[in-house]
């Protein structure tokens, strides 16, 4: 039967490639590039829409072939055939949506707005196809009698439940409304992210008085001077809302008035009195998500979203967050007292505000631990950090990384790396794109240009993975020196990349990071433990000028200060996680003022005025334009898993213990979504994790 599916797909592809205009579009033929990566140098913006339209037509024909198959529905001719469908659409989508995050232009944004409702409609046409669902249901109903592998059983379960979750069991009338909601949501989430990026790119703080730069490290000043010169303001200094600019400013700038300007601009992204204001979009997103969830029989969106996550239900998440909140809030209050004492000791007559916290925390940290972020940066030149990450991956999994100049890249700032097993076997391609630019959204993330799978003909398809960051850029006189947080973020995103690269699944739908949202952060966050460990630091942290290995004495100071300010960091994060849950546990919608809503959340949880949300509503892209709606808690949930998982290595006395590393690779990284997440974890660790290692790791146990 698989041969029949392959024949049908081949005929469809051949038919779709006919016509004189199509050979000029690189998406319409196999990529003639090293390792089959996208031929970026050939791709033009005008290729996207025709490829989307043809990809939709092609998958529609593939779906029709499944429906019209005269044979009794079975796993191969229905479930597997559906997973194999959409090859062209996957090719163009993977490139386009990565461009829409890291290679943005006005034209790309315009195409995104045009294609969003088309893709939403296409997705609904599949998930709401009654004949297709009838075949899927027929296979699902006989699942107990089928001789399926564990992975096949999971794909069947995920396919059936996915259709139900996407409205397949609704009445025709409700399905029509469901389609309308999805169309509107697709456009709104896109516009939300575009508004945030526009506000980031519009803001410029130009300093023309050198005295106003007091306190800022020389490297930050040099970068700001370069930015100003590039912006036509030679002899001045330009600061932006990109993290490598705004965070050092809030941490080091002595000028409190300018810190306030930067701090307020940072939290007001998407919340200014301009065309980029996201308040109406937030209202509409919350309203539509609630309506859609209730159409599907749920009280609220969170109840719907948590069905297929490890946490399982709202009560578990809220209890979990409250437990950590209760531990962190008193510590954050103690930290605020220390910062206020520092303010008072300097003879100032003002109360600590959110734009002061990072500045005075850095002062207190320096006083308590004699530690300075600018000193630490000297040992984290970005290429040394990268080589350290490669070293850890090699020691754990035997992986090798070779830069390939012959592999096309999507931007001149991106680099391409071939990943190999210890014996030289090809694993996949990894792109890395490290520094901010106007054509890139903020933050750091991992994505793919091609997911690992075994195709319909039985050929193993290796992955093409990308990690994109916004780290401190090099200046004219200095290489890129990362902060400690940037260094650990690099390790974090590389952990996601390993999850995609080492995937070893049969089916596209279960590959790599296709796991529950509150499990996906485990492979990334566990890597941070190696990043911070003294034994590992000694192997890659070298002074960028002298080559001196980071001194034990500095490592000791870093370790001693590791739990400093953790009350702030945890409360800041949890506040956003609680905000997320409050938006998505509404059982009835009433129009709301976003600022007032945030204030209510702050009051409900007795939050401190001195700490603002890590992500305030108007720029909270994780939940309003990303995939973390009712799921931002996932980072700290996975923190429980990663603290316990790293303990498995510590217990052996060898951070690179091969037995443990092999087990982590086999039971977690290679499995993708082929097994229940907790079962995967227990197969690795032997039991479910407890919360104590996380509280201990963050210094929240007194």
Burial class of residue 631 in the structure, from the number of CB atoms within 10 Å of its CB (0-12 exposed, 13-18 middle, 19+ buried): buried
Calpha distance 177→516 (Å, rounded): 27
Calpha distance 698→324 (Å, rounded): 10
What does the DSSP assignment read for 460-511? EE--EEEEE--PPPPBTTB--B--HHHHHHHHHHHHHHHHHHT---S-GGGS
Give the DSSP H/E element, type plus range, for residue 158.
Answer: helix 150-165
Angle at 519 between CA 401 and CA 382, to 5 degrees: 35
Any residues with CB less than 8 A from the CB of 92 and at least 6 apart, and which?
A: 27, 47, 48, 51, 52, 55
Burial class of residue 197 in the structure, from the number of CB atoms within 10 Å of its CB (0-12 exposed, 13-18 middle, 19+ buried): buried
Phi and psi (nearest 5°) for 92?
-75, -35
What does the DSSP assignment read for 562-574? TTTTHHHHHHHHH
Calpha distance 372→216 (Å, rounded): 12
Contact (CB, 8 A) for 271 and 278:
yes
Torsion of CA 510, 513, 519, 521, to 10 degrees: 180
Contact (CB, 8 A) for 259 and 253:
yes
Calpha distance 401→430 (Å, rounded): 9
Residue 337 tokens, joined: 């007292």
Calpha distance 17→584 (Å, rounded): 45
In angstroms, what is the C-alpha Rg of the chain? 26
Calpha distance 338→67 (Å, rounded): 68
Contact (CB, 8 A) for 393 and 428:
no
Calpha distance 202→223 (Å, rounded): 19
Give the residue numbers marked as catalytic. Answer: 493
Calpha distance 408→404 (Å, rounded): 9
Residue 550 tokens, joined: 């980071």
Calpha distance 499→239 (Å, rounded): 36
The DSSP 8-state label assigned to residue 657 in this structure reads -
Calpha distance 61→377 (Å, rounded): 55
Any residues with CB less than 8 A from the CB of 447 and at least 6 apart, and which?
A: 97, 98, 101, 465, 466, 468
């Amino acid at each position: 039967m698989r041969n029949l599916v392959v024949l049908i797909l081949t005929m469809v592809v051949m038919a779709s490639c006919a016509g004189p205009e199509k050979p000029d579009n690189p998406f319409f033929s196999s990529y003639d590039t090293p390792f089959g990566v996208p031929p970026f140098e050939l791709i033009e913006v005008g290729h996207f829409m025709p490829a989307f339209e043809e990809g939709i037509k092609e998958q529609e024909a593939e779906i029709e072939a499944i429906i019209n198959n005269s044979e009794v529905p079975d796993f191969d001719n229905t479930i597997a055939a559906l997973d194999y469908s959409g090859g062209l659409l996957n090719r163009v989508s993977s490139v386009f949506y990565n461009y829409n995050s890291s290679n943005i232009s006005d034209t790309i944004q315009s195409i995104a707005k045009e294609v969003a409702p088309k893709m939403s409609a296409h997705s609904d046409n599949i998930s709401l196809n009654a004949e297709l669902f009838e075949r899927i249901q027929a296979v699902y109903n006989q699942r107990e009698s089928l001789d399926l592998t564990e992975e096949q059983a999971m794909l069947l379960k995920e396919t059936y439940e996915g259709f139900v979750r996407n409205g397949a069991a609704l009445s025709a009338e409700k399905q029509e409304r469901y389609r309308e909601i999805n169309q509107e949501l697709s456009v709104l989430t896109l516009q939300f992210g575009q508004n945030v990026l526009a506000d980031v790119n519009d803001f410029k703080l130009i300093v023309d008085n050198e005295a106003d730069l007091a306190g800022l490290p020389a490297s930050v000043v040099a970068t700001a001077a370069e930015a100003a010169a590039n912006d036509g303001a030679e002899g001045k200094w330009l600061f932006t809302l990109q993290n490598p600019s705004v965070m050092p400013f809030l941490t080091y700038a002595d000028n409190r008035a300018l810190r306030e300007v930067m701090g307020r601009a940072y939290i007001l992204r998407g919340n200014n009195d301009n065309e980029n204001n996201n308040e109406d979009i937030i209202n509409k997103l919350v309203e539509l998500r609630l309506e859609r969830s209730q159409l599907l029989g749920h009280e609220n969106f969170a109840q719907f979203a948590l069905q297929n996550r490890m946490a399982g239900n709202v009560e578990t998440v809220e209890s979990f967050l409250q437990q950590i909140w209760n531990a962190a809030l008193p510590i954050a209050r103690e930290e605020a007292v220390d910062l206020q004492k520092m303010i008072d000791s300097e003879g100032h007559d003002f109360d600590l505000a959110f734009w002061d916290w990072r500045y005075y925390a850095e002062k207190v940290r320096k006083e308590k631990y004699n530690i300075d972020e600018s000193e630490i940066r000297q040992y984290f030149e970005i290429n040394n950090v990268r080589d350290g990450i490669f070293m850890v991956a090699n020691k754990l999994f035997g992986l090798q990384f070779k830069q390939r100049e012959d592999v096309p890249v999507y931007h001149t700032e991106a680099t391409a790396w071939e990943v190999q097993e210890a014996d030289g076997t090809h694993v996949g391609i990894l792109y890395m794109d490290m520094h901010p630019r106007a054509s890139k959204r903020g933050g750091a993330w991992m994505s793919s240009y091609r997911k690992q799978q075994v195709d319909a003909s039985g050929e193993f398809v290796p992955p093409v993975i990308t990690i994109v960051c916004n780290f401190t850029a090099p200046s004219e006189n200095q290489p890129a020196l990362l902060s400690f947080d940037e260094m650990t973020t690099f390790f974090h995103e590389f952990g996601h990349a390993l999850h995609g690269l080492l995937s070893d699944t049969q089916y596209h739908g279960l590959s790599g990071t296709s796991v529950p949202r509150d499990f996906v952060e485990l492979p990334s966050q566990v890597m941070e433990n190696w990043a911070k460990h003294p034994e590992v630091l000694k192997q890659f942290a070298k002074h960028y000028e002298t080559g001196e290995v980071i001194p034990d004495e500095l490592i000791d100071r870093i370790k001693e200060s590791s739990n400093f300010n953790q009350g702030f960091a945890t409360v800041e994060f949890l506040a956003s996680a609680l905000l997320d849950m409050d938006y998505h546990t509404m059982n009835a919608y009433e129009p709301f003022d976003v600022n007032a809503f945030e204030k209510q959340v702050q009051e409900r949880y007795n939050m401190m005025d001195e700490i603002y949300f890590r992500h305030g509503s108007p720029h909270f892209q994780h939940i309003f334009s990303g995939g973390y709606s009712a799921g931002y808690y996932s980072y700290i949930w996975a923190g429980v898993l990663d603290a316990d998982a790293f303990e498995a290595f510590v217990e052996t006395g060898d951070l690179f213990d091969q037995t443990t590393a092999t087990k982590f690779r086999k039971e977690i990284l290679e499995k993708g979504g082929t097994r229940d997440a907790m079962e995967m974890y227990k197969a690795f660790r032997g039991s479910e994790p407890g919360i104590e290692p996380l509280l201990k790791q963050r210094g929240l146990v007194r």
